[in-house]
A and B are shown apart, each in its own frame.
Chain A
């Protein structure tokens, strides 16, 4: 009400010099400030939650003393009582989980934005499926296990992504064509996986199934460092990609008119997204639905529904770490693969957000 009247008041003949402090500009600035504050608050709360969950999973089962002792060891003191349990077992696992979540969260946000479809995520397009099929082939047909399976998955995911891009290319890659071809390939890949699963031994099927839902397992430090380097190298690229992405969301013609080179911008975004998804898949499998749920949750938390890359990364990390905590302690005798829980953690929350949020069609 007040906003309306002030805007009406500002519609008089303003001189250029007075425009900076005209009431209309003040209203816009106020809205902007409010939006920034809200964004900051959401990011702070998410970071706080991630840290809380991280602390909980490090210190679970009365290990708080060991954690503090390990921290002291890192700082140069301490007695070394936490070295094995925290330094070798829990911390690498925690960090890898967080990195995987960040990678999938960003990848999902980029995919959904650049393709303009809220269902477009590496899970739904064939990218994760390519990783799964390659891994299932390596486990079931070639009888492999260990890091080689991860490498196969990376290659599978990257190959499928490149194939989708090339097949969708026809003097440019329209988002619509990319998505449809991706889904077509995803179905063919799922059929391939179904074939492998129905024609092989039940124990092999079991280990393939565990791999395909995604699990963090017990990673060693070199693996954590490798993924950390990959993610750290890709995040600046993702930020650069976002600049072009904002223009791309206006539509190709308008973006071109604004001076954005449409195809290179789209290729960069897709490339970064695929590299993040495939990299994370190589270390943890295609952790189910993290990429799909993170961005929609992040966008519904933030005002205005922008790209929400940072918030998506935090939500991704939170979903994976929360699921990891649940999966390790839900059934005491049985350690579940984390991908079983990610869907169960992220999906109900997304459903709840959908049920309570206002209809915001534009934020897709």
Chain B
């Protein structure tokens, strides 16, 4: 497989490689800075030295240490994982559907997860975020199976256009049912609206450890599969016929890429609610830096996704003190102007 695909990928000059590695390094440094900020800043600002002490276990300033270990560390971990998952899933979705509007919610992932969570709240009386996880995951999976099934069953198989349309159509139908439940059940509405904006906070260390433990395997498999699919995505971006001609089994490549995307997006939604925008914007931020090679875009997404989401979370803690804004809100409110500026300025790379 490697042999057949190699000629399809443009030879990368040494200069280009250096530039890509340098930008990746810049992104990693940015992520480190944001992680430090996420551990140190908030309703109670803690100096970085204190944060460090909390990890090494030197016993001074009990409260600071508790805040770091019990509150900020779990939250930061969730942010890193969710951000990375969303970044990867968004890149995969845009590659699979060859549509620059594709995001992790596109294939019905968020709609399915939302519907199952609302039904869990309304009919089973589940009200804790830890209780939503499996419902969110099951909903995401069910929705994707429907979308892929509908798109794949007709003549011509699961083409990008049919996938995108089927995903949006399912979202439309599910939203109808969802709104119906919400309007007839006020309790469900008042609980659901907080889940729906997407937040990294509100679990505590023990809860987070459980949830992360449960979701981590899915995330890991999804991420590995994503990188395994990156070569296929490169070839698929030239069109189905050409990809087929180059020896790629198109339906299988697309199905496996979708599986990776759903594992990642479903886990992210289960952990933090349907956080919009990160998955959409991350690939667009990256393409001007790397060009169209999906192996590089995915590598960057792994770093840039968490950076964006954690930065939004930190800003959300700082601008609305003593309360805070959910990361899902901040990332869209602050991210949109950035995205618009980039779309206006860059020679935007089409798909």
| Residues in A lying within 8 Å of B, measured CB to CB | 117-120, 124, 167-168, 170, 176-177, 179-181, 183-185, 187-188, 190-192, 194-195, 197-198, 202, 205-206, 209-210, 213, 288-289, 292-293, 296, 334, 336-337, 339-344, 346-348, 350-351, 354-359, 361, 364
Contacts and interface: CB of A to CB of B under 8 A. Distances in A.
Interface residues of B, number: 61
Interface stretch (B27-35, B66-74, B76-84, B149-157): B149-157
A356 B149 CA distance: 11
A202 B190 contact: yes
Contact of B343 (A177, A344, A346, A347): A177
Given A179-B101, A183-B280, A194-B196, A118 B161 contact: yes
Contacts of A342: 176
Closest 10 CB pairs of A and B: A359-B156, A347-B173, A343-B176, A188-B336, A191-B332, A289-B172, A344-B176, A343-B172, A347-B172, A194-B197
A190 B332 contact: yes
A188 B344 contact: no
B73 to A, nearest CB: 26
B173 A187 contact: no
B175 A336 contact: no
A184 B340 contact: yes
Interface in B174-206: 174-177, 179-180, 182-184, 186, 189-190, 193-194, 196-197
B27 to A, nearest CB: 21
Interface string B311-351: 00000000000000110111111011101100110001010
Given A180-B101, A183-B101, A348-B173, 5 more contacts: A191-B332, A191-B333, A194-B193, A195-B325, A206-B186
A361 B168 contact: no
A167 B338 CA distance: 12
B100 A292 contact: no
B295 interface: no
A363 B99 CA distance: 15
Contact of B335 (A119, A187, A209, A289): A187
B276 A187 contact: yes
Contacts of B50: none
Given A180-B100, A194-B329, A340 B179 contact: yes
B231 interface: no
Nearest to A197: B193
A354 B329 contact: no
A198 B196 CA distance: 9
B169 A347 contact: yes
Contacts, number: 173
B332 A119 contact: no
Interface of B: 99-101, 146, 149-151, 153-157, 159, 161-162, 164-166, 168-170, 172-177, 179-180, 182-184, 186, 189-190, 193-194, 196-197, 276-277, 280-281, 284, 325-326, 328-333, 335-337, 339-340, 343-344, 348, 350
B183 A181 contact: no
B115 to A, nearest CB: 12
A341 B176 contact: yes
A342 B179 CA distance: 12
A194 B114 CA distance: 14
Nearest to A350: B169
B83 to A, nearest CB: 16
B276 A190 contact: yes
A341 B333 CA distance: 30
A117 B175 CA distance: 22
Given A185-B340, A340-B176, A354 B169 contact: yes
A334 B184 contact: yes
A191 B329 contact: yes
A288 B154 contact: no
A205 B182 CA distance: 11
